[in-house]
Amino acid sequence: MNRRDFLKSSTALSGALVIGFYLPAGGRAFAQAPAKMVYPPNAFLRIAKDNTVTVVVKHLEFGQGVQTSLPMLVCEELECDWTKVKTELAGSNPVYGNVFMGGFQITGGSSSVANSFDQMRLVGAQARTMLIQAAATQWKVKPETLKAENGFVVGGGKKASFGSLADAAMKLPLPEGVKLKEPGQWKLVGKPTRRLDAPDKVDGKTVFGIDVKRPNLHTAVVMHAPVFGAQVKSFNADKVKAIPGVTHVIEITSGVAVLGKGYWAAKTGRDALEIEWDIPPESATLSTERLRADYRAEAKKPNGAVVKAAANADALKGAAKTIVAEYEFPFLAHAAMEPLNCTVEAREGSAEIWAGTQMPSVDQAAAAKVLGLQPAQVKINTMTTGGGFGRRANPNSDWIVDACEIAKAAKVPVKLVWSREDDIRGGYYRPMYVHRAEIGLDAQGNILGWNLDIVGQSILAGTPFESMMVKGGVDATSVEGTADTKYEIPNLAVKLHTVALPVPALWWRSVGHTHTAYVMETLIDEVAAASKQDPVEFRRKLLAKDAKFLAVLNLAAEKSGWGSALPPGRARGVAIVESFGTVCAQVAEVSLENGAPKVHRVTAAIDCGTVVNPLTVEAQVQSAIAYGLGAALYSELTLKQGGVVQSNFHDYRVLRLSDMPRVAVHVVPSGNKPSGVGEPGTPPIAPAVANALAALTGKRARVLPFANEKWA
Amino acid sequence: MAKFYVNGEAIQFNAAPDTPLLWAIRDHIGLTGTKFGCGMAQCGACTVHVNGEATRSCVTPVSAIEGKRVNTIEGLPDSPVTKAVRAAWLDKDVVQCGYCQPGQIMSATALLAKNPKPTDEQIDEAMSGNLCRCGTYQRIRDAVKTASASLGTKK
């Protein structure tokens, strides 16, 4: 939606109070704010005659609960009736920029609630002030004599609904210097609040991107190259066109698209395609086996980019004991439940897109480029989305670009739908990594030095984020959680060896912490074990100066019954990780069942600052644990002759209900601003389980997933 | 041409008889509550009831359901089991992204219709064919138990 459209559609909502507001960039992850930000003052809130309040949610709802927590923040200050709150997801418009990310419209980095916390409360407070002012003017009293209560302005024996005041209030200027409530005055924030989007989801009524219906809509599927880096050389569509329901066969940049009336016709058509591929020689020999050998050899080379140098480079020379550990992490697909999809209607001079996307403005620009339009001519309808975990935040907008190329060539409305096989084999993975650590200990088990070499692809190289987050050959997302560890480790040295591959890389829930936390937390355990120290007690010593870490660690230890007796055949393991401004500790209780790891209980403690919705925090920590645990136990993608061996959930295994441990989530009370919640629960689970398995079996899993290890 | 019933309505299906029921429901009949997740009966997002049995519609060709009664999430019978499951799902605030939840609810209602008092093992067995990448499993277990308990008290 361009700015003019935005104003038009907003002003068309007669009788509605609409309000918008923008805070200057807080600049946490991204330093600079855009120079100028002038926005229509009506972006976040509408109040209708019947007193319903519609909150426009600026972030993508893909499970993390923003469609409830952001309205809670607005409602807290607005004093509206929570039972009359409705929501809609915002389209692409700079006003919906992420306050922490220089105004870029991004749902990611576990920042949705954190960056909205002040902004959404102020939206509510300003609207309330305007409504009170409108009533005061109407009743010829001072606004100080009135208050807002559950959707009404009341005072002096009079009462008027927000809906009846909205017209007048809308004409008032935005008030300045509005004060927000103190936390002690909150009625909604901090209270367990059930999700606003649940009833429709339970009834199957929610319209996801894949459910979009449009007139004359054609379903498209694409045959992508079976080998990374390959291009279409030639193709034969004779058999395809004979299949009933197939309407178009179109070559696009990434492969060949087949269109049909419905998915099954298109998919059947694709199955009949004959394509000859141009396979680059370097792709043809690409295999996990080769990468494993190459990465391990690279990790031993001295030429890595220096992330952190040791104060004493010879610290390991006098060690009484040296721990040498090499770790391997596989490629991982995000495998969100809703396969990628995108609906496009390309018209003369404009286009409309329906998609679930974490970066609508990036996708809008990419679509415009393909369609030969200005970004403002492309309207993005953000759809409720069946999971993302980073896959729907692609700086290359791969699936959006595909859909636009198809729609442009076919000249019909198109819904591109990926199959699960397309998703598992289509790239944009958590990259494969190898870590090599050498730790020197003195005779008492004290750390003398700690060298860490990390080998893997850069996620951000070649993207618009590169200039901000890749410095001196170091992609911040490859090394986060290592050099910046809160453990007091003398002579810690970290180097990064960046590898280029034709396999597209992308962030995957908790990004670099998916591998760095595993290495750091299992090694800390191993160091503790080397001098027979309790893993919790050992961590307390190395974290003695950090009150936040200690409080989280102590809460997890206490609630898990750390140190108490367990039934035979069970063991506990602990891990504590800071990510996205949040500290999360987990204690996992494991056993072996039929020779395989079984996780029974996980006790999690978290300090994520102020909690807006406790039900969401609990759900997100459970979710993050399930996501990380499935990957740790089962998930891996392997390459052979340049392609991916796995194809669907039968060989790319993820967590099932029968694998789910009982998770208890405990929150460290905090008066700080909210920090991340969606991702910080993921990094600790794999090392906590690995540490428990080591306590149980003496084996330390160096190669993920754990299914690769013989445990019994 | 295949004939069957979806949510009580007679359907005459004229497209290819190997078309999976999932795509007949979604693309031809236009009911989108039943979801596509894997296409090979691995994830359960497409679960419907065929003559009351939880069935993966993505691998069930329409030719195999001739004359049968199909119920989707939109057409669950207005029964005590349906009401109990819906109420428990809301009470336990189960959903996250929600994409897999119609399938979860179809599996849970099929389980409880046959066995209103499932053991923990029986719940795990009936529900482990339904993947949830948001990891709502703990609340799903709790909701099935809550629904089961409420069915008990009404008898």
Closest Cα in chain B to A198: B95
Query: Which residue, of B41, B75, B109, is where some domain finishes?
Result: B75
A208 Cβ under 8 Å from any chain B Cβ: yes
- Residue contact A387–B97, C-beta within 8 A: yes
- CB-closest option in B95, B102, B138 to A660: B138
- CB-closest option in B96, B105, B124 to A658: B124
- The residue of B71, B125, B131, B134 whose CB has the most chain A CBs within 10 angstroms, and thus the best one to mutate to test that interface, is B134
Residues B147 and B127 in one domain: yes
- CB-closest option in A199, A337, A663 to B37: A337
Residues B66 and B112 in one domain: no
Residues 6+ apart with CB under 8 A from A347: none
C-alpha span between A495 and A475 (Å, rounded): 11
Name the burial class of residue A36, with classes exposed (0-12), middle (13-18) and buried (19+) by CB atoms within 10 angstroms of its CB: exposed
- Helix runs in chain B, H state only: 21-23, 80-91, 101-114, 120-127, 137-154
pLDDT of residue B153: 57
Query: Torsion angle of alpha carbons A538, A540, A546, A549, nearest 10°?
Result: 100
- CB-closest option in B34, B43, B125 to A649: B43
Q: What is the DSSP string of A394-419?
A: -TT-HHHHHHHHHHHHH-S-EEEE--
pLDDT of residue A128: 95
pLDDT (tens digit, 9 = 90+) per residue, A589-626?
Answer: 999 999 999 999 999 999 999 999 999 999 999 999 99
Residues of A in contact with B96 (CB under 8 A): 63-65, 619, 623
| Sign (positive or negative) of CA dihedral A114, A115, A116, A121 | positive
| Per-residue confidence band for A25, with pLDDT thresholds at 50, 70 and 90 | very low
Query: Which residue, of B75, B97, B113, is where some domain finishes?
Result: B75
Question: For residues B4 and B11, is the Cβ–Cβ distance under 8 A?
Answer: yes
Percent of chain A's residues with pLDDT above 70: 94
**By mean pLDDT, which of A15-24, A308-317, A333-342 is the weakest?**
A15-24
A617 Cβ under 8 Å from any chain B Cβ: no
Please tell me the CATH code under which domain A3-202 is placed.
3.30.365.10
Residues B14 and B44 in one domain: yes
Q: Residue A148: beta bridge partners?
A: A153
Distance from CA of B153 to the nearest CA of A (A): 23
User: Total structural domains in chain B?
Assistant: 2
Closest Cα in chain B to A631: B133
Residues B91 and B51 in one domain: no
- Residue contact B86–A417, C-beta within 8 A: no
Query: What stretch of H or E contains A547?
Result: helix A547-560
Q: In the predicted model, is pLDDT for residue A418 greater than 80?
A: yes
Residues of B in contact with A205 (CB under 8 A): 33, 74
Select from 3.40.640.10, 3.30.365.10, 2.60.40.1840, 3.40.50.300 the CATH code of A209-280+340-417. 3.30.365.10
Q: To the nearest whole number, what is the mean pLDDT of chain A? A: 93
Question: For residues A676 and A557, is the Cβ–Cβ distance under 8 A?
Answer: no
Give the pair of three-digit tokens for residue A157: 């024996």
- Residue contact B134–A626, C-beta within 8 A: yes
Q: In the predicted model, is pLDDT for residue A16 greater than 80?
A: no
Closest Cα in chain A to B22: A264
Residues B68 and B86 in one domain: no
Residues 6+ apart with CB under 8 A from A137: A168
Type of residue numbered B33: G
| SS3 of residue A338 by DSSP | coil
- CB-closest option in A62, A384, A627 to B135: A627
Which of residues 127 through 166 in chain A touch B, CB cutoff 8 A?
Answer: none
Query: Which residue, of B42, B75, B108, is where some domain finishes?
Result: B75
Q: In the predicted model, is pLDDT for residue B155 greater than 50?
A: no
The average pLDDT across A292-298 equals 98
Residue A36 vs residues A27, A216, A376, A514, B32: alpha-carbon distances, Å: 15, 41, 17, 36, 43
The average pLDDT across A29-52 equals 58
Type of residue numbered A334: H
The average pLDDT across A214-237 equals 97
Closest Cα in chain B to A678: B134
- Residue contact B135–A625, C-beta within 8 A: yes
**By mean pLDDT, which of A32-46, A248-262, A280-294, A464-478 is the weakest?**
A32-46
The residues of chain A that CATH labels 3.30.365.10 are 3-202, 209-280+340-417, 288-331+429-708
Residues B66 and B120 in one domain: no
Half-sphere exposure of A280 (CA within 13 A, CB side): 10
Residues B54 and B86 in one domain: no
Residues of B in contact with A210 (CB under 8 A): 32, 35-36
Of A469, A541, A552, residue with least CA distance to A511 = A469
pLDDT (tens digit, 9 = 90+) per residue, B122-154?
Answer: 999 999 999 999 999 999 999 999 999 999 754
C-alpha span between A37 and A104 (Å, rounded): 11
* Radius of gyration over every alpha carbon of chain B, rounded to an integer in angstroms: 15
Residues B150 and B106 in one domain: yes
- Inter-chain Cβ pairs, chain A and chain B, closer than 8 A: 184
- Residue contact B33–A387, C-beta within 8 A: no
Q: In the predicted model, is pLDDT for residue A21 greater than 50?
A: no
pLDDT (tens digit, 9 = 90+) per residue, B84-117?
Answer: 999 999 999 999 999 999 999 999 999 999 999 9
| Per-residue confidence band for A378, with pLDDT thresholds at 50, 70 and 90 | very high
Distance from CA of B50 to the nearest CA of A (A): 18
pLDDT of residue A399: 98
Of A378, A348, A365, residue with least CA distance to A2 = A378
Q: Which letter does DSSP use for residue A356 in this model?
A: -
Residues B9 and B45 in one domain: yes
Percent of chain A's residues with pLDDT above 90: 88
Question: For residues A582 and A608, is the Cβ–Cβ distance under 8 A?
Answer: yes
| Per-residue confidence band for B41, with pLDDT thresholds at 50, 70 and 90 | very high
Residues B104 and B39 in one domain: no
C-alpha span between A415 and A406 (Å, rounded): 9
A64 Cβ under 8 Å from any chain B Cβ: yes
A385 Cβ under 8 Å from any chain B Cβ: yes
Q: What is the DSSP string of A151-201?
A: TEEEETTEEEEHHHHHHHHHTSPPPSSPPPPPGGG-SSTTS----TTHHHH
pLDDT of residue A12: 30
Distance from CA of B99 to the nearest CA of A (A): 5
Residue A80 vs residues A86, A165, A580: alpha-carbon distances, Å: 11, 13, 32
Residues B70 and B95 in one domain: no
SS3 content of chain B, % helix, strand, coil (to 5): 45, 15, 40
Write the secondary structure of A208-235 as one string of H (helix), E (strand) and C (coil).
EHHHCCCCCCEEEEEEECCCCCCEEEEE
CATH code where residue B150 lies: 1.10.150.120
Closest Cα in chain A to B92: A194
Chain centroid to CA A642: 28
Q: What is the DSSP string of A494-534?
A: EEEEEE--SS-B---TTTTHHHHHHHHHHHHHHHHHHTT--
Percent of chain B's residues with pLDDT above 70: 98
| Per-residue confidence band for A245, with pLDDT thresholds at 50, 70 and 90 | very high
The average pLDDT across A438-447 equals 97
Residues 6+ apart with CB under 8 A from A30: A100, A101, A102, A104, A468
Q: Which domain holds residue B149?
A: 80-154
Residues of A in contact with B137 (CB under 8 A): 626, 655-657, 660
- CB-closest option in A199, A206, A339 to B36: A339
Q: In the predicted model, is pLDDT for residue A275 greater than 90?
A: yes
Phi and psi based region of residue A229 (left: phi greater than 0; alpha: psi -120 to 50; beta: remaining): left
CATH code where residue B26 lies: 3.10.20.30
Query: What stretch of H or E contains A13?
Result: none
Residues B148 and B114 in one domain: yes
Select from 3.30.70.890, 3.30.365.10, 1.10.238.10, 2.60.120.380 the CATH code of A288-331+429-708. 3.30.365.10
| Sign (positive or negative) of CA dihedral A550, A552, A558, A561 | negative
- Is this complex scored with an ipTM above 0.85? yes
pLDDT (tens digit, 9 = 90+) per residue, A336-377?
Answer: 999 999 999 999 999 999 999 999 999 999 999 999 999 999
pLDDT (tens digit, 9 = 90+) per residue, A459-496?
Answer: 999 888 888 889 989 999 999 999 999 999 999 999 99
pLDDT of residue A32: 33
pLDDT of residue A42: 64
Half-sphere exposure of A658 (CA within 13 A, CB side): 12
